[in-house]
Structure 1
Amino acid sequence: MSNRETRTLPVPEGLAGMRVDAGLSKMLGLSRTVVADLATAGDVLIDGRVVGKSDRLIADAWMEITLPEPARPLTPKVEVIEGMEILYSDDDLIAVHKPVGVAAHPTVGWDGPSVVGGLAAAGFRISTSGPPERKGIVQRLDVGTSGVMVIAASERGYTSLKQAFRDRTVEKTYHALVQGHPDPFTGTIDAAIGRHPSAGWRFAVTSAGKHAVTHYQTIEAFREATLLEVHLETGRTHQIRVHMEAIHHPCVGDPMYGSNPELSERLGLTRQWLHAVRLGFNHPADGRWMEIEAPYPADLAHALEVVDK
């Protein structure tokens, strides 16, 4: 049985003459793409006649729109996650070593394992603050990135840690193996990041993007690659990966952002060599400074051994 709602209403005078997809998008708060799909499916009628997305709205005409199915709530899959180690826990926070292939929380299009589901399976209580599908989540790591991640266990922990990330008082340290040798060996990349203009699933340096700053310094240089320590001032999606591509030194094992597939194969990598190695922050209860570290997982450690030969 369908849960789709049908709405019948007159065309407001201010929308008369607009295309169906543009006008209904404004009126209903749906994206133009969703409205266009509804029109294509015959779910938009004006005065009883099915209309297309590019037809024009007529003043005082009656519209009948069958809305999309309501979004189903995202609920974490409760399952034991192999390799997800608890690095630290107390009444206010839990720090985990997130393995590759695990999301921070459920999202549309991702039905794989999540940190939230793994903690539930392990019997941990987390904060009830935040949207339903990501309660307790104060930061995120990409599915393809491993390393230390902190989750709020209490409401006090959520409020304090969320504010700390917002105020950028959390020290986020990553290690990244990048192709070639950055020049200079130590530097700062200050370049705005936004959706890629021709591939929305990627991100890119773009003048229309959000402010993003990445600091890096060389730990060790190899013949074909360089191991960097990276500190983030901001936390944009794919920030390190995008900034490294922008200076022509992409993370090894990251074909989405320009890595050499032959080098990745030689090192046995099936994901980007990028690891959240350390988080530093003030504890929510007493303000003491804490630093939590996560060692390299086996695949990244192996790649370092091979690239050094």
Structure 2
Amino acid sequence: MEELTINITEEQKGERIDKVISAVDEEWSRSQISNWVKDGHIKVNGETVKPNYKVRLEDEILITPPLLEELDAEPENLDLDIVYEDEDVLVVNKPKGMVVHPAPGHASGTLVNGLMYHCTDLSGINGVVRPGIVHRIDKDTSGLLMVAKNDLAHASLVEQLVEKSVTRKYIALVHGHIAHDKGTIDAPIARDPKERQKMAVVDKGKHAVTHFTVLERFGNFTLVECRLETGRTHQIRVHMRYIGFPLAGDPKYGPRKTMDIGGQALHAAVIGFIHPRTKEYLEFSSALPAEFEELLETLR
């Protein structure tokens, strides 16, 4: 597993090292990163530092996460919808209801199980539990994900995510009538201090920005396109709830009386990134799933 390098930007200067690194992968907690710093898995300019180290503009951070404990995950023929593939990257259209990677309670039937069957060359930066996985979408969110097939591609795609240069557009159906045609939600997100299983807008949370455009209105519901500038856990679901328009069908952030559609009405419709090797900008789109289209037809 190759080391992952981060070069500090002007915006990050002066922040604690654990905060900077936690922005790379949403599953890396600050406490976990602090332990990695103490254990020497994270170095600054080739030297070990303390967990409270504040980064400087010229710093080069090398991260070598310890290998994760291997789960009993086997390759499975899940007939994945591969939208694009070459020697470095692939783009997959994940169906609603599929978990991205193995976790306690989800050792099989995940996207990673299907990817392991589809190809043997996946990046190793995230260890054996999440090979190739650069970013995630929630279990009940459908749509496009980019996957790294080697460590060079993985490092490049992660860097693009950190630099906020990846195009990510989602289609969401929300409760309520949004009067404005466009809007931007700039509100920090962190774990909900009252409910640890949920995320929330919290003053000291991670910087999070969502841009939305109204596509169609249906009386008590509105169809919107959301463009992510950042990629926090549950960002669209938390942000739309925060401004009073929670996602339809969302069991975690929606109102008590919402649609029974097996999870939030959210689809990752567009993904765009610079190819790690050719440096060409690639963009892919995915049509709404049939059940999402049928839902809209019912509302119309």
* TM-score, L = length of structure 1: 0.72
Letter in 2 for 1:300: F
Q: Structure 2 CA distance, aligned partners of 1:289 and 1:75? A: 37
Q: Structure 2 CA distance, aligned partners of 1:194 and 1:112? A: 29
Runs of 4+ aligned structure 1 residues displaced above 4 Å come to none
Secondary structure of the residue that 2:124 maps to in structure 1?
A: coil
Rate the CA distance shift 1:148–1:233 in 2: closer, same or farther, 3 A.
same
2:286 pairs with 1:294:
yes
2:260 pairs with 1:284:
no
Task: Give the alignment partner of residue 303 of structure 1, picking from 290, 295, 299.
Answer: 295
Alignment map for 1:126-205 (pairs within 5 Å): 126-205=122-201
Structure 1 position 111, deviation (Å): 2.8
Query: What's the Cα RMSD here?
Result: 1.9
| Kept in 2: contact 1:252–1:260 (CA 8 A) | no
| Kept in 2: contact 1:194–1:203 (CA 8 A) | yes
Rate the CA distance shift 1:205–1:183 in 2: closer, same or farther, 3 A.
farther
Secondary structure of the residue that 1:134 maps to in structure 2?
A: coil
Structure 1 position 80, deviation (Å): 2.2
The CA deviation string for residues 58-77 of structure 1, in whole angstroms up to 9 with x for no partner, is xxxxxxxxxxxxx9523434
Structure 1 position 144, deviation (Å): 1.3
Alignment partner, residue 78 of structure 1: 75
- Structure 1 unaligned blocks of 5 or more: 1-24, 30-70
Rate the CA distance shift 1:75–1:165 in 2: closer, same or farther, 3 A.
farther
Q: Structure 2 CA distance, aligned partners of 1:126 and 1:132? A: 10
Choose 1 or 2 for highest CA Rg: 1
| Kept in 1: contact 2:89–2:149 (CA 8 A) | yes
Letter in 1 for 2:174: V
| Kept in 2: contact 1:75–1:133 (CA 8 A) | no
Alignment partner, residue 213 of structure 2: 217
Q: Structure 2 CA distance, aligned partners of 1:243 and 1:140? A: 18
The CA deviation string for residues 209-252 of structure 1, in whole angstroms up to 9 with x for no partner, is 11111110101111221110101111110000001111111010
Structure 1 position 255, deviation (Å): 2.6
2:234 pairs with 1:234:
no
Letter in 2 for 1:78: P
| Kept in 1: contact 2:72–2:107 (CA 8 A) | no
* TM-score, L = length of structure 2: 0.74
Task: Give the alignment partner of residue 100 of structure 2, picking from 91, 100, 104.
Answer: 104
Alignment partner, residue 21 of structure 1: none
Q: Which has the higher helix share?
A: 1
Q: Structure 2 CA distance, aligned partners of 1:113 and 1:163? A: 29
* % identical equivalent positions: 39
Alignment partner, residue 45 of structure 1: none
Letter in 2 for 1:304: L
The CA deviation string for residues 251-296 of structure 1, in whole angstroms up to 9 with x for no partner, is 10003112353x514xxx1110000000011111111111011221
Q: Structure 1 CA distance, aligned partners of 2:184 and 2:92? A: 29
Alignment partner, residue 58 of structure 1: none
Structure 1 position 298, deviation (Å): 1.9
Alignment partner, residue 38 of structure 1: none
Alignment partner, residue 259 of structure 2: 264
Query: How many residues were matched structurally?
Result: 235
Q: Structure 2 CA distance, aligned partners of 1:99 and 1:224? A: 27
Q: Structure 1 CA distance, aligned partners of 2:222 and 2:120? A: 38
Q: Structure 1 CA distance, aligned partners of 2:277 and 2:198? A: 39
- Structure 2 unaligned blocks of 5 or more: 1-30, 36-67
Q: Structure 1 CA distance, aligned partners of 2:108 and 2:219? A: 37
Secondary structure of the residue that 1:132 maps to in structure 2?
A: coil
